[in-house]
Structure 1
Amino acid sequence: MEKIKKLFQTTGTKQGSFSIGVTAIVIAIVVVTNMIIGQLPEKYRNIDVSSTKIYEISDTSKDLLKELDHKVTLTVLAVKDETDDRITTFLSKYAGLSKNVSVKWIDPVLHPSALTENNAEKDTIVVKCEDTGKSTTVAFSDIIVQDMSSYYYTGSASESEFDGEGQLTSAINYVTSDASQTVYRTSGHGESTFSTTISDLMKKNNYNVEELNLVMNTEIPDDCDLLMMYAPTNDLSQEEADVLKNYLKSGGKVMLILGDTTSEQLPNLMGILSDYGMKEADGYIADPKRCYQGNAYYLFPQLSVSGDLANGISSQMVLLANTHGLELSDPARDTISVNAFMSTTNNAYAVTEDAQTEGSYTLGVVATESISKDDGDDTKDENSTDDSETRKSRLTVISSASMIDSQITDAFTTLENTTLFMNAVTANFDGVKNISIEPKSLSVEYNTVQHSGLLSLLVIFGVPIVLLIGGFSVWYRRRKA
């Protein structure tokens, strides 16, 4: 016993006992901490470490969920253990943002009748609101989007996008909202069609987009909330121009996106713009002060946005290519107010074959006019359901169709072209917010040094050399000692 007591009284034994005690305490702390964390809700346990932040939820969705005053149930018709972890994780984080959103999992293998009851297929989320009686579905394939184009080259489809937030936010907005907006897109004048990106964003906002051929039907439908013309190449007839003027005078909403056609080719359409204080400048606009990689015809406009137009705008980076410009003048009536929200710098040029005219040019503008019910029968809005004493007409003009061209919006996903465009559309509707959210890319990102400046050289060569020299000096001193 004496030998054993002396053994535990040595310095080495005391240090060893201390180390064992500390180790036991650390292990106990780790175990207890894991038990506590394990009891926390899943939304707090999952940390987004993905390179593209697929679990990051925007302020648009947070505001919608915060203001949600209806109970919404997300019924997931899938086997939870077999579901992609990205979907289960996102659902838990998303639903955790509102007490009015609940997630219910139903195994369609054990309960096949659930598919018939919900009129849905396997691997589908049924979004339902009992208060409104409305429901819709979101398929897993709409959340994790496959790039089928790669199938033709590699024999297998690759994952391209994660659209959990965009799909769920759109679905919840649909089932909880009674509002419905119809957008008529004109045809018959060589207009362009929306890209897939823009069509998807319009759908996410629950806008019903219909086509209206003004050549065959010169009457604006009663349910038209917004009339849109996208890059017409042929002019309106005088009869069509008169219909459009009367529609605006009666409180209608019109959005015009100009294409590559000059004002001389669209005299009747330009006559309407002239009444609202706008005139197209001759030539293409170049802005050497705010351009893309030295190409003055690929320019970044200066934005002057507020209210609905400013929602979600943070970087204020919008790219336009080979655009025409507008010059503002006095409108035909004093009741018309004209405000530009997109313009060049003062050092821009309108370039033609013969001249370069320096100045500041407008690239996006909104003209509004308050219409009184007492203005006469010719200005009464037969299409409007507004019972207020005044109605407000609105004409939004964007001078470049490239703003929503897929070659720009799909290639430069960090730009805010689509956000500003959707804000401009949404601003035409009272009490409606832009809730369209673009999907996040699932493409592999590589860490590369884009600019080999002094800092890059220091990190690549300087730090390793300093560490090697320091290590060698420590080794040399110890060797000499």
Structure 2
Amino acid sequence: MQKIKNVFKTTGTKNGTYSVGVTVLVIAIVVVANLIFGQIPEKYRNIDVSSTKIYEITDTSKELLKGLDHKVTFTVLAVKESTDDRIKTFLSKYASLSKDISVEWIDPVLHPSALNEYDTNENTIVVACADTGKSTTVSFDDIIVMDTSSYYYTGNVSESEFDGEGQLTSAVNYVVSDVNKKIYRTTGHGEATLPGSITDLMDKNNYQVQELNLVMNTAIPDDCDLLLMYAPSNDLTNDEKTVIQEYLSKGGKVMLLLGDTTSSQLPNLASIMKDYGMEEADGYIADTSRCYQGNYYYIFPLLSVSGDMAKRISSQMVLLTNAHGMNLVDPARDTITTTPFMSTSDQAYAVTEKDQKQGTYVLGASAVESVSQEDKSKSSDSKSEDSGDSDSKKSEDQSDSSEKKSADNTKESRFTVISAGSLIDSQITDTFTQLENTTLFMNAVSSNFDGVQNISIEAKSLATEYNTVQHAGLFSLLVIFGIPLAVLISGFVVWFRRRKA
């Protein structure tokens, strides 16, 4: 017995007992801490440590979810245990932002009839609103986007983007909103094709885009909310010019993005622009003050946006190439107000083969005009020959009615011109993903619609990011050499002291 007691009195036993005690204490602290953190709401628990911030939710989505006045249900038709953790984490984080969103998981293996009930496939989120009766679906393949093009080079398919927020926000906006806007994109003038990234953003805003050939159609359809012309290389015919002018005179909305073709080659389009207070300058614009790495034709314009046009514009960084400049002139009518929202610095030049003129040039502007649609119908009562007080009262009633109709029929026409189609060129937007080109463009589109905001959110890249030191400074030298050296020296000092003891 004494021998056993002596064993517990040794230095080794005491140290071992101390280590066991500390271990038990640490384990207890960890268990208690997990229990405490488990009670914290999930939106505060889930901290985004991913390099591309795939779980970070923008203010656009937060504002939409905060303003919900309808209950929205996410029905996830998938086996929860085998679902990608990124999708599960994002779903829970997204739903936690609003008490009006509920998430229900249905295992299609255990309940195969659910697929027929919702008329969809496995690994799909059904977003529905009972109050509006609208529903839509979001596939897992639309959230984690695969790059199939890499298969032809590597034989493997890799993940390229995470689009959880963009898809879910678009779906929620669709089921709770009754806004459906139709955009007609002109063809027949050598227009460029809209990049895929832009058509995706149009879809997320629930905008329907349809082609329109003005040579084949003598009028712009009544359901046209916006007429879009993207980088035409050929001019309008006289008849097409008349059709567009009449459309604007009735409160229509037109948006024009100029391409490489100059206004001298597009006289009819230039004539419409001049009517609305915009005249194109000769040549291409070079800006010696706001350019990309010394290339004067790669311009970072100055933005002067406000209201809906300024939504999610934080860095003020937009890149344009092959830009034509515009000068503001007196519009054809006093009722037209032209406002620039994008321009060069005062160190810009309009450069031609023979000349270069310094000045500040407008690169984007919107012209608005309030137009009234007069009721041309005539009442047969107007020819009545009755006289007296009753006739006078009738005349006053007709006058009041006429004023009311005039107010009700007043619309605002809007003509927006961006002098560089490169604003949405995929070679720029895909290369410089941190720029706000697409955001500015979508804001300009949405500003044509009353009560509609740009809620399209771009996907986040899943490409691998490497930590590289491009320019070794003092901080870099400290991290690479200083800290490791300090650790080695301190370790040696501790070892040497213990050895002497």
User: Which residue number corresponds to residue 389 of structure 2?
Assistant: none
Counterparts of 1:52-91 in structure 2, within 5 Å, are 52-91=52-91
Structure 1 residues 222 and 32, CA gap change in structure 2 (3 angstroms): same
The alpha carbon displacement at 1:462 in A equals: 4.6
User: Which residue number corresponds to residue 436 of structure 1?
Assistant: 456
Counterparts of 1:144-293 in structure 2, within 5 Å, are 144-293=144-293
Structure 1-normalised TM-score? 0.92
The alpha carbon displacement at 1:466 in A equals: 5.7
Counterpart-to-counterpart distance in 1, 2:358 and 2:28 = 74
Residue 471 (structure 2) pairs with residue 451 (structure 1): yes
The alpha carbon displacement at 1:389 in A equals: 4.8
Counterpart-to-counterpart distance in 1, 2:443 and 2:336 = 22
In the alignment, residue 273 of structure 2 is paired with which amino acid? L
Counterpart-to-counterpart distance in 2, 1:77 and 1:286 = 54
The alpha carbon displacement at 1:373 in A equals: 3.8
The alpha carbon displacement at 1:468 in A equals: 5.6
User: Which residue number corresponds to residue 383 of structure 2?
Assistant: none
SS of alignment partner, residue 285 of structure 1:
strand
User: Which residue number corresponds to residue 417 of structure 2?
Assistant: 397
Structure 1 residues 10 and 83, CA gap change in structure 2 (3 angstroms): closer
Residue 343 (structure 2) pairs with residue 343 (structure 1): yes
Question: Is the contact made by 2:258 and 2:419 (CA closer than 8 Å) also made in structure 1?
Answer: yes
User: Which residue number corresponds to residue 384 of structure 2?
Assistant: none
User: Which residue number corresponds to residue 301 of structure 1?
Assistant: 301
Counterpart-to-counterpart distance in 2, 1:95 and 1:302 = 38
Question: Is the contact made by 2:341 and 2:365 (CA closer than 8 Å) also made in structure 1?
Answer: yes
Counterpart-to-counterpart distance in 1, 2:292 and 2:186 = 32
In the alignment, residue 297 of structure 1 is paired with which amino acid? Y
Counterparts of 1:284-433 in structure 2, within 5 Å, are 284-374=284-374, 388-433=408-453
Counterpart-to-counterpart distance in 2, 1:37 and 1:413 = 36
In the alignment, residue 419 of structure 2 is paired with which amino acid? S
SS of alignment partner, residue 90 of structure 2:
helix
Structure 1 residues 277 and 92, CA gap change in structure 2 (3 angstroms): same
Structure 1 residues 69 and 476, CA gap change in structure 2 (3 angstroms): same
Question: Is the contact made by 2:286 and 2:349 (CA closer than 8 Å) also made in structure 1?
Answer: yes
The alpha carbon displacement at 1:388 in A equals: 3.0
Question: Is the contact made by 2:350 and 2:358 (CA closer than 8 Å) also made in structure 1?
Answer: yes
Structure 1 residues 386 and 107, CA gap change in structure 2 (3 angstroms): farther
Structure 1 residues 82 and 16, CA gap change in structure 2 (3 angstroms): closer
| Larger deviation, residues 9-18 vs 25-34 | 9-18
In the alignment, residue 27 of structure 1 is paired with which amino acid? I
Counterpart-to-counterpart distance in 2, 1:375 and 1:103 = 52
Counterpart-to-counterpart distance in 2, 1:24 and 1:456 = 40
Structure 1 residues 298 and 386, CA gap change in structure 2 (3 angstroms): farther
In the alignment, residue 447 of structure 1 is paired with which amino acid? N
Counterpart-to-counterpart distance in 2, 1:281 and 1:146 = 44
Counterpart-to-counterpart distance in 1, 2:15 and 2:421 = 76
In the alignment, residue 66 of structure 2 is paired with which amino acid? K
Structure 1 residues 477 and 194, CA gap change in structure 2 (3 angstroms): same
Counterpart-to-counterpart distance in 1, 2:218 and 2:233 = 18
| Larger deviation, residues 201-210 vs 44-53 | 44-53
User: Which residue number corresponds to residue 380 of structure 1?
Assistant: none
User: How many corresponding residue pairs?
Assistant: 474
**Structure 2 unaligned runs (5+)?**
378-404
SS of alignment partner, residue 182 of structure 1:
strand
Counterpart-to-counterpart distance in 2, 1:387 and 1:160 = 52
User: Which residue number corresponds to residue 50 of structure 1?
Assistant: 50
Question: Is the contact made by 2:373 and 2:406 (CA closer than 8 Å) also made in structure 1?
Answer: no
Counterpart-to-counterpart distance in 2, 1:277 and 1:376 = 30
Counterpart-to-counterpart distance in 1, 2:9 and 2:154 = 71
The alpha carbon displacement at 1:179 in A equals: 1.1
| Larger deviation, residues 469-478 vs 159-168 | 469-478
Cα shift readout 1:114-135 (whole Å, capped 9, x = no counterpart): 0000000011111111111111
The alpha carbon displacement at 1:47 in A equals: 2.2
Structure 1 residues 23 and 387, CA gap change in structure 2 (3 angstroms): farther
Question: Is the contact made by 2:374 and 2:406 (CA closer than 8 Å) also made in structure 1?
Answer: no
The alpha carbon displacement at 1:452 in A equals: 2.7
Counterpart-to-counterpart distance in 2, 1:459 and 1:32 = 35
Residue 54 (structure 2) pairs with residue 34 (structure 1): no
Structure 2-normalised TM-score? 0.88
In the alignment, residue 71 of structure 1 is paired with which amino acid? K
User: Which residue number corresponds to residue 109 of structure 2?
Assistant: 109
In the alignment, residue 318 of structure 1 is paired with which amino acid? V
Counterpart-to-counterpart distance in 1, 2:343 and 2:476 = 37
Structure 1 residues 84 and 16, CA gap change in structure 2 (3 angstroms): closer
| Larger deviation, residues 206-215 vs 38-47 | 38-47
Counterparts of 1:13-28 in structure 2, within 5 Å, are 23-28=23-28
Structure 1 residues 35 and 323, CA gap change in structure 2 (3 angstroms): same
Counterpart-to-counterpart distance in 1, 2:407 and 2:50 = 51
Counterpart-to-counterpart distance in 1, 2:277 and 2:184 = 24
SS of alignment partner, residue 282 of structure 2:
coil
Percent identity among equivalent residues?
71
Counterpart-to-counterpart distance in 2, 1:196 and 1:18 = 65
The alpha carbon displacement at 1:199 in A equals: 0.5
Structure showing greater Rg: 2
Counterpart-to-counterpart distance in 1, 2:406 and 2:68 = 26
Structure 1 residues 324 and 87, CA gap change in structure 2 (3 angstroms): same
Counterpart-to-counterpart distance in 2, 1:163 and 1:386 = 46
In the alignment, residue 306 of structure 1 is paired with which amino acid? S
Counterpart-to-counterpart distance in 1, 2:256 and 2:139 = 35
SS of alignment partner, residue 368 of structure 1:
strand
| Larger deviation, residues 451-460 vs 91-100 | 451-460
Structure 1 residues 89 and 469, CA gap change in structure 2 (3 angstroms): closer
The alpha carbon displacement at 1:10 in A equals: 10
Counterpart-to-counterpart distance in 2, 1:406 and 1:197 = 8
| Larger deviation, residues 446-455 vs 458-467 | 458-467
The alpha carbon displacement at 1:153 in A equals: 1.4
| Larger deviation, residues 467-476 vs 387-396 | 467-476
In the alignment, residue 78 of structure 2 is paired with which amino acid? A
Structure 1 residues 429 and 352, CA gap change in structure 2 (3 angstroms): same
SS of alignment partner, residue 324 of structure 2:
coil
Counterpart-to-counterpart distance in 2, 1:241 and 1:12 = 97
User: Which residue number corresponds to residue 141 of structure 2?
Assistant: 141
Structure 1 residues 351 and 24, CA gap change in structure 2 (3 angstroms): same
The alpha carbon displacement at 1:206 in A equals: 0.1
Counterpart-to-counterpart distance in 2, 1:458 and 1:325 = 48
